[in-house]
Amino acid sequence: MAKKYQYCVAESWGKGFITTTNSIKMSPRNFPGNIWRIAANSQYSNKWVIAVNGVHKTLAQAQTIVTAALDVVQDAWDANNVDGESADEKNFRIGIKPADITLEE
Amino acid sequence: MADYINTFGQKIQYLSSDPDPVQEGQVWYNSTSNTLKYRGSNAATAWSSGGNLNTGRDQTAGAGSKGSGLAFGGGYPAVNNTEKYNGSSWTEVNNLNAARRTMLGFGTQTAAIGAGGVTVATNEIWNGTNWTEVNNLNTARSSAKGVGITTAGLAFGGYTNTNVATNESWNGTNWTEIADMNTARAALGGAGTQGAALAFNGGPQANVGAGSIYNTETWNGSSWTEVNNTNTASEGAGSSGSNTSAITFGGSIYASSGSNNRTEQYNGTNWTEVANLSTGRSTGGSGSSESDNKSAMYYGGAGNTNSTEEFTGAGETTKTIASS
């Protein structure tokens, strides 16, 4: 089956990193670790990766980066506690624990 | 520099409210919000990257519009930072007097209100330069939603030690309790004005697994009426627009324990899913003075991110050129 997505690592500098045209043509999605999911088999996507100094990653490589970045965030969430605080109170204070992410091919 | 009248053969209209009906290409100055606006057209619906906040923060409040936003407060821990956006970059300006998170915000970049937060009734007004403490909310609460301007606002919903349906009206001097919403909720979305508002989504706040809320209610100045639900229940989503042309984006779906990137537009009758955010997140800040669902921005959010995204909807839309 043809791949729907490709992945790269690239750091957003803010305004202009993803334009409205980029968004329409690639449907970009950001994940922890500066991983970006964009449309596969697309010259437009490939040119965008070059334009933002991105580095292509395989699905497995991207998954490893996302999982490692998420581990850091989840560990920080686990360690962020206040004495006597209930689980609900913690969720209210700092939000729910970031969920595991499985990237799609 | 060429004058507008010499170029186009007419003066810019000086109006106390946006014209209705409005025509594509029309330009006017709104003397209430102190904004120069025009009616333009967009070809497609999409999110794009905006400038990054200087201070990344979760649970931040917002005012203004996509081209002239204002972000204030946030946390955890709570901060008092205020930043203004010029359509490309954020600039630090004078801080809130009281650092707070999950407060409500409304108004413009030059005239805004920041009220409530965990868990206080504190209320401050922004004049474009400084924040000044003014009369408090009647009910101290966090995660309420505010709409309107600094002389005519509305604050509804929120969390005390439970979700509330409380609704308060602001006349520029005092808050007054008025008719409650039908469904108590916190971390809800909202759009519109003091006399014509929309409340949607929201949640049981801390009660993970209890489910977020789909319900949408419209306010006519005296009572709330249930209308069609959003497609996705969520809480902590961004929102803006009017009560007949609203937009919601992002948020948490506790049932699936994660942030989402979905965007929905309301046309006065139904909610429709449109282009997603690039970065799924909840409890970011969003502008409150957008006039419809074709223009929006979302900044900050869970994990104290500094990311900003700007929404451009398809079709005609009213755009803010500048605020003074």
Domain map of chain A by residue range?
5-94
Residue of B42, B45, B47, B48 to mutate, interface with A, max A Cβ within 10 Å: B48
Query: Do β-strands A55-57 and B13-15 pair in parallel, antiparallel, or remain unpaired?
Result: unpaired
Q: Which one of B52, B206, B258 has the shortest CB-CB distance to A91?
A: B206
Select from A19, A73, A96 the Cβ nearest to the Cβ of B48.
A19
B18-46 confidence digits (pLDDT tens) = 887 787 788 888 888 788 888 877 767 99
Just give the CATH number of B47-314. 2.120.10.80
Q: What is the pLDDT of residues A14-32, one digit of tens each?
A: 999 999 999 999 999 999 9
- Give the closest residue to B34 by CA, choosing from B88, B113, B108, B93: B108
| Ranges of each domain in chain B | 47-314
Cα distance from N-terminal residue to C-terminal residue, chain B: 19
pLDDT at B254: 63
**What's this model's pTM, rounded to 2 decimal places?**
0.87
**What pLDDT is attached to residue A93?**
84
Chain B residues near residue A85 by CB distance under 8 angstroms: none
With b for 16 or more beta-carbon neighbours within 10 A and e for fewer, the B73-83 pattern comes to: bbbbebbbbbb
Chain B residues with CB under 8 Å of A97 CB are: 257
The ipTM estimated for the assembled molecules is 0.90
Residues 6+ apart with CB under 8 A from A74: A97, A98
pLDDT tens for each residue of B278-300: 998 888 999 888 889 999 999 99
| Helix, strand, or coil (residue A94) | helix
The confidence band for B277, taking pLDDT boundaries of 50, 70 and 90, is very high
Q: Which whole-number Å values give the CA distances from B265 to B129, B180, B192, B312, B314, in the listed order?
A: 33, 25, 14, 12, 11
Contact B46 A20 (CB under 8 A): yes
Task: Report the SS3 class of residue A53.
Answer: coil
CB-CB under 8 Å, B49 with A18? yes
Name B209's Cβ contacts closer than 8 Å, sequence gap at least 6.
Answer: B254, B255
**Beta-carbon separation of B88 and A18 below 8 A:** no
Nearest-angstrom CA–CA distance, B16 and B98: 32
Nearest CA in chain A to B52: A14
